[in-house]
Amino acid sequence: MNLLRHVTGTGPTRSKTALSLGLSRPHRGRGGVGNARRLIGRDVSGGALRRRIPVWLIPGISVGAVFAALAIAHVRVELIDQGYKRYSAVERLQALEEEKRALTARVGELRDPARLAKLAQKMGLARPDHVITLAPPGDELRP
């Protein structure tokens, strides 16, 4: 964008900035290098871009910034707390899985037929000579 066109505008009327700089006509096309050189080192804003923040808004911005900082700190503390809880839960899960493996092995030992046969023999129990099969009422016995 041409600096002079930006300063003076493109319409038939001249802007306040063009009037304050003493430009006689708006720039159209080439040949405005001489006018552009006159602008070097000058303040072309004319004070239009200088906006001041109202005094009553500064405490509101400060309070908002403090609340935002506290909210961010709270979120970070919660995130760290959840990390510790997750770590504890993972440790507990690993301990429970190890306990499950040990208990599964123990059940396998207790149900071992060879162990049960030795235990029954030690208690004086013997294998039955014959087995009687009972059926629920109304069902036929199958050979």
Comparing 77 with 140, the larger pLDDT belongs to 77
DSSP 3-state of 96: helix
- What pTM does this model have? 0.43
Comparing 104 with 12, the larger pLDDT belongs to 104
Domain locations in the chain as residue ranges: 3-39, 57-123
| Whole-number average pLDDT of the chain | 80
Q: Does residue 100 surpass a pLDDT of 60?
A: yes
Q: In whole angstroms, what is the distance from residue 14 CA to residue 24 CA? A: 9
Scan for tokens 């405490």, then name that residue: 59
Token representation of residue 89: 């839960």
Token representation of residue 78: 């919660």
What one-letter code names the amino acid at 11?
G
Q: Does residue 66 surpass a pLDDT of 80?
A: yes
> Which pLDDT score is estimated for 24?
55
> Which pLDDT score is estimated for 1?
47
Under the banding of pLDDT at 50, 70 and 90, the label for residue 33 is low
Query: Which backbone phi and psi does 110 adopt, to 5 degrees?
Result: -70, -30
Q: To the nearest whole percent, how much of the chain has pLDDT over 70?
A: 67
> Which pLDDT score is estimated for 37?
75
Q: What is the mean pLDDT of residues 93-112?
A: 97
Q: What is the mean pLDDT of residues 131-142?
A: 75
Burial 46-76 (b: 16+ CB within 10 A, else e): eeeeeeeeeeeeeeeeeeeeeeeeeeeeeee
Q: Which long-range contacts (CB under 8 A, 24 or more apart) does 93-97 make?
A: none
> Which pLDDT score is estimated for 109?
95
Nearest to 23 by CA among 12, 8, 10: 8
